[in-house]
Structure 1
Amino acid sequence: MDLAEAHRHHLTAWFFDCRSATHVRIAGTYLADENLHAFYASIREGLPEHLVAAVRANARRAETPAG
Protein backbone atom coordinates (compact mmCIF):
# COMPACT_ATOMS: atom_id res chain seq x y z
CA MET A 1 0.00 0.00 0.00
CA ASP A 2 2.87 2.38 0.68
CA LEU A 3 4.19 1.85 -2.84
CA ALA A 4 0.68 2.47 -4.21
CA GLU A 5 0.57 5.74 -2.25
CA ALA A 6 4.00 6.71 -3.60
CA HIS A 7 2.73 6.03 -7.13
CA ARG A 8 -0.33 8.22 -6.50
CA HIS A 9 1.93 11.03 -5.28
CA HIS A 10 4.14 10.59 -8.35
CA LEU A 11 1.13 11.02 -10.62
CA THR A 12 0.14 14.14 -8.69
CA ALA A 13 3.63 15.62 -8.86
CA TRP A 14 4.17 15.01 -12.56
CA PHE A 15 0.76 14.90 -14.23
CA PHE A 16 -2.39 15.90 -12.35
CA ASP A 17 -4.02 15.93 -8.92
CA CYS A 18 -4.54 12.20 -8.52
CA ARG A 19 -7.03 11.60 -5.75
CA SER A 20 -7.57 8.09 -4.41
CA ALA A 21 -10.76 7.48 -6.41
CA THR A 22 -8.99 8.47 -9.62
CA HIS A 23 -6.07 6.22 -8.75
CA VAL A 24 -8.47 3.28 -8.33
CA ARG A 25 -9.94 3.97 -11.77
CA ILE A 26 -6.48 4.16 -13.33
CA ALA A 27 -5.46 0.91 -11.66
CA GLY A 28 -8.62 -0.72 -12.99
CA THR A 29 -7.24 -0.27 -16.48
CA TYR A 30 -4.44 -2.66 -15.55
CA LEU A 31 -7.11 -5.37 -15.59
CA ALA A 32 -9.51 -4.00 -18.20
CA ASP A 33 -7.04 -3.00 -20.90
CA GLU A 34 -5.59 -6.02 -22.66
CA ASN A 35 -2.29 -4.32 -23.48
CA LEU A 36 -1.70 -2.92 -19.99
CA HIS A 37 -2.61 -6.26 -18.45
CA ALA A 38 -0.19 -8.07 -20.75
CA PHE A 39 2.57 -5.55 -19.99
CA TYR A 40 2.34 -5.93 -16.22
CA ALA A 41 1.78 -9.69 -16.42
CA SER A 42 4.94 -9.97 -18.54
CA ILE A 43 6.91 -8.51 -15.63
CA ARG A 44 5.47 -11.05 -13.21
CA GLU A 45 2.46 -13.32 -13.38
CA GLY A 46 -0.33 -11.94 -11.20
CA LEU A 47 1.21 -8.47 -10.98
CA PRO A 48 -1.76 -6.59 -12.47
CA GLU A 49 -4.13 -8.14 -9.94
CA HIS A 50 -1.70 -7.43 -7.10
CA LEU A 51 -1.27 -3.80 -8.13
CA VAL A 52 -5.02 -3.23 -8.34
CA ALA A 53 -5.55 -4.83 -4.93
CA ALA A 54 -2.82 -2.62 -3.43
CA VAL A 55 -4.26 0.56 -4.93
CA ARG A 56 -7.78 -0.34 -3.74
CA ALA A 57 -6.51 -1.13 -0.24
CA ASN A 58 -4.57 2.13 -0.16
CA ALA A 59 -7.70 4.06 -1.17
CA ARG A 60 -9.67 2.39 1.62
CA ARG A 61 -6.89 3.31 4.05
CA ALA A 62 -7.11 6.94 2.91
CA GLU A 63 -10.87 6.95 3.54
CA THR A 64 -10.53 5.54 7.06
CA PRO A 65 -10.38 8.22 9.74
CA ALA A 66 -7.27 8.10 11.88
CA GLY A 67 -7.97 7.17 15.41
Structure 2
Amino acid sequence: MPRAMFVYTKEILKKVSFDVSLFCKELKKATERLLPYELDELRDFILSLIKKNPSLRQSLVYLD
Protein backbone atom coordinates (compact mmCIF):
# COMPACT_ATOMS: atom_id res chain seq x y z
CA MET A 1 0.00 0.00 0.00
CA PRO A 2 2.76 2.56 0.73
CA ARG A 3 3.95 2.29 -2.88
CA ALA A 4 0.49 3.28 -4.08
CA MET A 5 0.71 6.38 -1.89
CA PHE A 6 4.05 7.26 -3.47
CA VAL A 7 2.63 6.99 -6.99
CA TYR A 8 -0.42 9.00 -5.97
CA THR A 9 1.78 11.70 -4.44
CA LYS A 10 3.80 12.02 -7.63
CA GLU A 11 0.62 12.46 -9.67
CA ILE A 12 -0.70 15.14 -7.33
CA LEU A 13 2.60 17.02 -7.37
CA LYS A 14 2.66 16.94 -11.18
CA LYS A 15 -0.85 18.36 -11.32
CA VAL A 16 -0.18 21.22 -8.89
CA SER A 17 3.28 22.13 -10.16
CA PHE A 18 1.82 25.26 -11.82
CA ASP A 19 1.31 26.87 -8.37
CA VAL A 20 4.32 27.02 -6.04
CA SER A 21 2.35 27.54 -2.82
CA LEU A 22 0.01 24.64 -3.56
CA PHE A 23 2.96 22.48 -4.56
CA CYS A 24 4.70 23.24 -1.26
CA LYS A 25 1.54 22.46 0.70
CA GLU A 26 1.16 19.07 -1.01
CA LEU A 27 4.84 18.31 -0.60
CA LYS A 28 4.65 19.04 3.12
CA LYS A 29 1.76 16.57 3.43
CA ALA A 30 3.74 14.00 1.46
CA THR A 31 6.73 14.25 3.80
CA GLU A 32 4.46 13.27 6.69
CA ARG A 33 3.05 10.22 4.89
CA LEU A 34 5.88 8.68 2.90
CA LEU A 35 8.60 6.34 4.07
CA PRO A 36 12.22 7.57 4.26
CA TYR A 37 13.38 5.72 1.14
CA GLU A 38 10.38 7.07 -0.76
CA LEU A 39 11.37 10.59 0.22
CA ASP A 40 14.74 10.00 -1.43
CA GLU A 41 12.97 8.94 -4.62
CA LEU A 42 10.63 11.90 -4.32
CA ARG A 43 13.61 14.27 -4.13
CA ASP A 44 14.85 12.93 -7.48
CA PHE A 45 11.39 13.38 -8.96
CA ILE A 46 11.15 16.96 -7.71
CA LEU A 47 14.58 17.79 -9.07
CA SER A 48 13.36 16.72 -12.50
CA LEU A 49 10.29 18.95 -12.08
CA ILE A 50 12.51 21.87 -11.08
CA LYS A 51 14.31 21.63 -14.42
CA LYS A 52 10.98 22.36 -16.11
CA ASN A 53 9.76 24.89 -13.56
CA PRO A 54 12.64 26.58 -11.65
CA SER A 55 10.27 28.44 -9.33
CA LEU A 56 9.63 25.14 -7.53
CA ARG A 57 13.18 25.20 -6.15
CA GLN A 58 11.95 26.75 -2.91
CA SER A 59 10.01 23.56 -2.17
CA LEU A 60 13.27 21.69 -1.49
CA VAL A 61 13.16 23.19 2.00
CA TYR A 62 10.52 20.61 2.92
CA LEU A 63 12.81 17.71 1.97
CA ASP A 64 15.75 18.70 4.17
Q: Smaller-chain TM-score range?
A: 0.3 to 0.5
**What's the TM-score once normalised by structure 2's chain length?**
0.35
- Which has the greater radius of gyration? 1
